[in-house]
Amino acid sequence: MNTIPWYRSPVFTVALTAALVQLVGMLDATFIEGLVSGKAGALTQLGGFLLTAIVTGLRAFAGAQPITLTQKGADEKNAAAVPTLRQGGFVRPMVLALLLACAVIALPVLQGCTALGLQQAQTFNQRYAYALSQTTAIRETARLALESRQIGVADAEYALKLTNQSRELLDSARLVHEAGDPATAEGKLVLVTRVLTELQTYLNTRHRT
Amino acid sequence: MSEQNINLAVMLLLGLTRKAGEVSASILKARGEGRDLTDAELQPLLAEDDLQAAMLEEAIERSKLRLADST
Protein backbone atom coordinates (compact mmCIF):
# COMPACT_ATOMS: atom_id res chain seq x y z
CA MET A 1 0.00 0.00 0.00
CA ASN A 2 1.46 3.38 -1.00
CA THR A 3 1.67 6.19 1.46
CA ILE A 4 1.92 9.92 1.04
CA PRO A 5 4.05 12.12 3.29
CA TRP A 6 2.19 14.06 5.96
CA TYR A 7 2.93 17.43 4.35
CA ARG A 8 1.11 16.37 1.17
CA SER A 9 -2.02 15.62 3.11
CA PRO A 10 -4.98 17.83 2.14
CA VAL A 11 -5.99 18.06 5.77
CA PHE A 12 -2.61 19.49 6.72
CA THR A 13 -2.44 21.81 3.71
CA VAL A 14 -5.88 23.26 4.29
CA ALA A 15 -5.28 23.72 7.99
CA LEU A 16 -1.92 25.37 7.30
CA THR A 17 -3.51 27.68 4.75
CA ALA A 18 -6.20 28.64 7.21
CA ALA A 19 -3.53 29.37 9.82
CA LEU A 20 -1.60 31.55 7.37
CA VAL A 21 -4.75 33.43 6.44
CA GLN A 22 -5.51 34.06 10.09
CA LEU A 23 -1.92 35.23 10.57
CA VAL A 24 -2.21 37.69 7.70
CA GLY A 25 -5.51 38.90 9.13
CA MET A 26 -3.92 39.40 12.52
CA LEU A 27 -0.98 41.33 11.09
CA ASP A 28 -3.41 43.43 9.10
CA ALA A 29 -5.50 44.14 12.19
CA THR A 30 -2.50 44.80 14.39
CA PHE A 31 -0.13 46.80 12.26
CA ILE A 32 -1.85 48.41 9.32
CA GLU A 33 -5.28 49.20 10.71
CA GLY A 34 -5.80 52.89 10.20
CA LEU A 35 -3.35 53.05 7.34
CA VAL A 36 -5.70 51.32 4.97
CA SER A 37 -9.47 51.24 4.87
CA GLY A 38 -11.44 49.06 7.24
CA LYS A 39 -12.39 46.88 4.33
CA ALA A 40 -8.88 45.42 4.20
CA GLY A 41 -9.67 42.91 6.94
CA ALA A 42 -12.79 41.71 5.15
CA LEU A 43 -10.91 41.42 1.87
CA THR A 44 -8.16 39.46 3.60
CA GLN A 45 -10.71 37.05 5.00
CA LEU A 46 -12.39 36.71 1.62
CA GLY A 47 -9.05 36.14 -0.09
CA GLY A 48 -8.18 33.55 2.52
CA PHE A 49 -11.44 31.75 1.94
CA LEU A 50 -10.85 31.67 -1.81
CA LEU A 51 -7.25 30.55 -1.33
CA THR A 52 -8.34 27.75 0.97
CA ALA A 53 -10.98 26.67 -1.53
CA ILE A 54 -8.48 26.69 -4.40
CA VAL A 55 -5.87 24.72 -2.45
CA THR A 56 -8.51 22.21 -1.40
CA GLY A 57 -9.64 21.79 -5.01
CA LEU A 58 -6.09 21.41 -6.30
CA ARG A 59 -5.27 18.80 -3.71
CA ALA A 60 -8.44 16.91 -4.51
CA PHE A 61 -7.69 16.92 -8.27
CA ALA A 62 -4.06 15.97 -7.62
CA GLY A 63 -5.30 12.56 -6.58
CA ALA A 64 -4.33 12.54 -2.95
CA GLN A 65 -7.02 10.58 -1.24
CA PRO A 66 -7.52 11.60 2.36
CA ILE A 67 -8.38 8.21 3.75
CA THR A 68 -8.80 4.89 2.06
CA LEU A 69 -10.44 2.14 4.00
CA THR A 70 -10.12 -1.46 2.94
CA GLN A 71 -12.09 -4.21 4.50
CA LYS A 72 -9.93 -6.90 6.02
CA GLY A 73 -10.33 -10.17 4.21
CA ALA A 74 -11.78 -8.56 1.09
CA ASP A 75 -10.79 -9.55 -2.42
CA GLU A 76 -7.05 -9.17 -2.09
CA LYS A 77 -6.41 -9.75 -5.74
CA ASN A 78 -8.44 -6.71 -6.70
CA ALA A 79 -7.07 -4.72 -3.82
CA ALA A 80 -3.52 -5.36 -5.01
CA ALA A 81 -4.43 -4.42 -8.57
CA VAL A 82 -5.73 -1.01 -7.49
CA PRO A 83 -3.00 0.80 -5.62
CA THR A 84 -4.35 2.82 -2.75
CA LEU A 85 -2.92 5.91 -1.19
CA ARG A 86 -2.90 6.03 2.53
CA GLN A 87 -1.93 8.97 4.65
CA GLY A 88 1.33 8.18 6.30
CA GLY A 89 0.38 8.90 9.85
CA PHE A 90 0.13 12.64 9.45
CA VAL A 91 -2.73 12.81 11.90
CA ARG A 92 -0.42 13.17 14.76
CA PRO A 93 -2.14 14.64 17.79
CA MET A 94 0.56 17.22 18.39
CA VAL A 95 0.44 18.57 14.84
CA LEU A 96 -3.31 18.82 14.88
CA ALA A 97 -3.28 20.39 18.32
CA LEU A 98 -0.76 22.97 17.14
CA LEU A 99 -2.79 23.78 14.05
CA LEU A 100 -5.99 24.02 16.04
CA ALA A 101 -4.35 26.25 18.59
CA CYS A 102 -3.00 28.56 15.88
CA ALA A 103 -5.81 28.57 13.36
CA VAL A 104 -8.88 28.24 15.49
CA ILE A 105 -8.16 29.68 18.88
CA ALA A 106 -5.11 31.89 19.27
CA LEU A 107 -5.05 33.99 16.15
CA PRO A 108 -8.75 34.92 16.01
CA VAL A 109 -8.53 35.87 19.68
CA LEU A 110 -5.51 38.05 18.92
CA GLN A 111 -7.47 39.70 16.14
CA GLY A 112 -10.06 40.60 18.77
CA CYS A 113 -12.68 43.13 17.93
CA THR A 114 -11.61 43.51 14.33
CA ALA A 115 -12.54 39.92 13.50
CA LEU A 116 -16.03 40.53 14.89
CA GLY A 117 -16.39 43.79 13.00
CA LEU A 118 -16.40 45.84 16.20
CA GLN A 119 -14.88 49.28 16.35
CA GLN A 120 -11.72 49.51 18.39
CA ALA A 121 -12.02 51.75 21.45
CA GLN A 122 -9.61 54.65 21.18
CA THR A 123 -10.72 57.01 23.94
CA PHE A 124 -11.59 56.69 27.60
CA ASN A 125 -15.30 57.19 26.92
CA GLN A 126 -15.27 54.41 24.34
CA ARG A 127 -13.45 51.98 26.64
CA TYR A 128 -15.84 52.99 29.44
CA ALA A 129 -18.83 52.32 27.19
CA TYR A 130 -17.54 48.88 26.22
CA ALA A 131 -16.85 47.93 29.86
CA LEU A 132 -20.28 49.18 30.92
CA SER A 133 -21.97 47.21 28.16
CA GLN A 134 -20.15 44.05 29.24
CA THR A 135 -21.34 44.57 32.83
CA THR A 136 -24.90 44.91 31.56
CA ALA A 137 -24.58 41.83 29.36
CA ILE A 138 -23.35 39.71 32.25
CA ARG A 139 -26.22 40.90 34.46
CA GLU A 140 -28.72 40.04 31.74
CA THR A 141 -27.17 36.63 31.08
CA ALA A 142 -27.07 35.82 34.80
CA ARG A 143 -30.78 36.68 35.07
CA LEU A 144 -31.71 34.56 32.07
CA ALA A 145 -29.58 31.69 33.35
CA LEU A 146 -31.21 31.92 36.77
CA GLU A 147 -34.72 32.03 35.30
CA SER A 148 -33.98 29.02 33.12
CA ARG A 149 -32.46 27.31 36.17
CA GLN A 150 -29.04 26.91 34.64
CA ILE A 151 -27.42 28.50 37.66
CA GLY A 152 -28.45 28.69 41.28
CA VAL A 153 -29.39 31.63 43.49
CA ALA A 154 -25.93 31.76 45.05
CA ASP A 155 -24.29 32.05 41.63
CA ALA A 156 -26.69 34.80 40.58
CA GLU A 157 -26.05 36.67 43.82
CA TYR A 158 -22.32 36.37 43.20
CA ALA A 159 -22.79 37.73 39.67
CA LEU A 160 -24.87 40.62 41.00
CA LYS A 161 -22.29 41.41 43.67
CA LEU A 162 -19.36 41.43 41.24
CA THR A 163 -21.21 43.40 38.56
CA ASN A 164 -22.22 45.96 41.21
CA GLN A 165 -18.55 46.26 42.18
CA SER A 166 -17.64 46.66 38.52
CA ARG A 167 -20.22 49.39 38.12
CA GLU A 168 -18.87 51.21 41.20
CA LEU A 169 -15.37 50.99 39.75
CA LEU A 170 -16.64 52.31 36.43
CA ASP A 171 -18.40 55.24 38.07
CA SER A 172 -15.26 55.93 40.07
CA ALA A 173 -13.10 55.74 36.94
CA ARG A 174 -15.32 58.24 35.21
CA LEU A 175 -15.15 60.68 38.13
CA VAL A 176 -11.37 60.33 38.32
CA HIS A 177 -11.09 60.89 34.57
CA GLU A 178 -13.20 64.02 34.76
CA ALA A 179 -11.03 65.20 37.66
CA GLY A 180 -8.02 65.04 35.32
CA ASP A 181 -6.28 61.79 36.28
CA PRO A 182 -6.49 59.65 33.16
CA ALA A 183 -3.85 57.13 34.28
CA THR A 184 -5.80 56.15 37.40
CA ALA A 185 -9.02 56.06 35.42
CA GLU A 186 -7.52 53.72 32.86
CA GLY A 187 -6.18 51.54 35.67
CA LYS A 188 -9.67 51.23 37.07
CA LEU A 189 -11.01 50.25 33.67
CA VAL A 190 -8.39 47.52 33.42
CA LEU A 191 -9.43 46.31 36.87
CA VAL A 192 -13.08 46.21 35.80
CA THR A 193 -12.15 44.18 32.74
CA ARG A 194 -10.30 41.69 34.92
CA VAL A 195 -13.21 41.37 37.34
CA LEU A 196 -15.65 40.82 34.48
CA THR A 197 -13.38 38.27 32.82
CA GLU A 198 -13.10 36.34 36.09
CA LEU A 199 -16.86 36.48 36.49
CA GLN A 200 -17.39 35.15 32.97
CA THR A 201 -15.01 32.28 33.70
CA TYR A 202 -16.84 31.58 36.93
CA LEU A 203 -20.25 31.57 35.23
CA ASN A 204 -18.99 29.35 32.43
CA THR A 205 -17.96 26.69 34.91
CA ARG A 206 -21.12 26.85 36.99
CA HIS A 207 -24.22 24.79 36.56
CA ARG A 208 -27.12 23.96 38.73
CA THR A 209 -26.71 20.53 40.33
CA MET B 1 -17.77 20.77 29.85
CA SER B 2 -21.39 19.73 30.19
CA GLU B 3 -24.20 20.67 27.83
CA GLN B 4 -25.51 23.08 30.44
CA ASN B 5 -22.12 24.81 30.64
CA ILE B 6 -22.02 25.12 26.86
CA ASN B 7 -25.51 26.65 26.82
CA LEU B 8 -24.49 29.17 29.42
CA ALA B 9 -21.21 29.95 27.64
CA VAL B 10 -23.07 30.54 24.38
CA MET B 11 -25.68 32.73 26.09
CA LEU B 12 -22.91 34.75 27.67
CA LEU B 13 -20.99 35.10 24.43
CA LEU B 14 -24.07 36.18 22.50
CA GLY B 15 -25.02 38.69 25.18
CA LEU B 16 -21.54 40.18 25.32
CA THR B 17 -21.28 40.37 21.53
CA ARG B 18 -24.70 41.97 21.13
CA LYS B 19 -23.99 44.65 23.72
CA ALA B 20 -20.53 45.28 22.30
CA GLY B 21 -22.14 45.62 18.88
CA GLU B 22 -24.49 48.31 20.16
CA VAL B 23 -21.57 50.26 21.59
CA SER B 24 -19.59 49.73 18.42
CA ALA B 25 -22.43 51.22 16.39
CA SER B 26 -22.47 54.31 18.63
CA ILE B 27 -18.70 54.66 18.30
CA LEU B 28 -18.89 54.32 14.54
CA LYS B 29 -21.58 56.99 14.35
CA ALA B 30 -19.59 59.34 16.59
CA ARG B 31 -16.42 58.79 14.54
CA GLY B 32 -18.36 59.50 11.38
CA GLU B 33 -19.24 62.86 12.86
CA GLY B 34 -15.63 63.40 13.96
CA ARG B 35 -16.24 63.36 17.70
CA ASP B 36 -16.02 61.15 20.80
CA LEU B 37 -18.94 59.52 22.58
CA THR B 38 -20.87 62.14 24.50
CA ASP B 39 -22.45 61.93 27.94
CA ALA B 40 -25.85 61.91 26.26
CA GLU B 41 -24.85 58.73 24.42
CA LEU B 42 -23.57 57.13 27.62
CA GLN B 43 -26.78 57.82 29.55
CA PRO B 44 -28.86 55.08 27.86
CA LEU B 45 -26.09 52.58 28.64
CA LEU B 46 -26.15 53.58 32.29
CA ALA B 47 -29.94 53.37 32.37
CA GLU B 48 -29.88 49.94 30.74
CA ASP B 49 -27.31 48.72 33.28
CA ASP B 50 -29.45 49.99 36.16
CA LEU B 51 -32.48 48.26 34.68
CA GLN B 52 -30.65 44.96 34.26
CA ALA B 53 -29.31 45.18 37.82
CA ALA B 54 -32.84 45.69 39.15
CA MET B 55 -34.19 42.84 37.04
CA LEU B 56 -31.46 40.48 38.23
CA GLU B 57 -32.18 41.43 41.81
CA GLU B 58 -35.88 40.76 41.29
CA ALA B 59 -35.16 37.41 39.68
CA ILE B 60 -33.01 36.45 42.65
CA GLU B 61 -35.79 37.39 45.07
CA ARG B 62 -38.35 35.42 43.06
CA SER B 63 -36.08 32.39 43.02
CA LYS B 64 -35.59 32.62 46.76
CA LEU B 65 -39.36 32.77 47.29
CA ARG B 66 -39.89 29.83 44.97
CA LEU B 67 -37.30 27.82 46.86
CA ALA B 68 -38.91 28.75 50.17
CA ASP B 69 -42.34 27.70 48.88
CA SER B 70 -41.07 24.38 47.62
CA THR B 71 -39.47 23.41 50.94
pLDDT at A194 over 50: yes
Question: What's chain A's average pLDDT?
Answer: 72
Out of B8, B15, B42, name the one closest to residue A150 (CB): B8
Q: State the ipTM, two decimals.
A: 0.92
Is B42's CB within 8 Å of A129's CB? yes
pLDDT tens digit sequence for B4-29: 777 888 888 889 999 999 999 999 99
Round to whole Å and give the CA distance between B63 and A153. Answer: 7
Tell me which of B23, B42, B58 to substitute to probe the interface with A (most A C-beta atoms closer than 10 Å): B23
Q: Which of B50, B4, B3, B18 is nearest to A149 (CA)?
A: B4
pLDDT tens digit sequence for A60-81: 566 555 555 555 555 555 555 5
Round to whole Å and give the CA distance between A62 and A10. Answer: 10
Q: Which residues of B touch A162 (CB under 8 A)?
A: none
Q: Which chain B residue shows the shortest CA-CA distance from A154?
A: B60
A11 touches B: beta carbon within 8 Å: no
Q: Which residues of A touch B11 (CB under 8 A)?
A: 141, 144-145, 150
pTM above threshold 0.90: no
pLDDT of the residue at A140: 95
Cβ burial of A137 (10 Å; 0-12, 13-18, 19+) is buried
Task: State the average pLDDT over residues B42-70.
Answer: 95
Contact A89, A7 (CB under 8 A): no
Task: State the average pLDDT over residues A79-100.
Answer: 51
Q: Which residues of B touch A157 (CB under 8 A)?
A: 60
Give the phi and the psi of residue A149 in degrees, each rounded to 5: 60, 35
A201 touches B: beta carbon within 8 Å: no
Task: State the average pLDDT over residues A195-202.
Answer: 89
pLDDT at A93 over 60: no
The one-character DSSP state at A36 is B
More confident residue, A29 or A148: A148
HSE-CB for A117 with a 13 A CA cutoff: 9
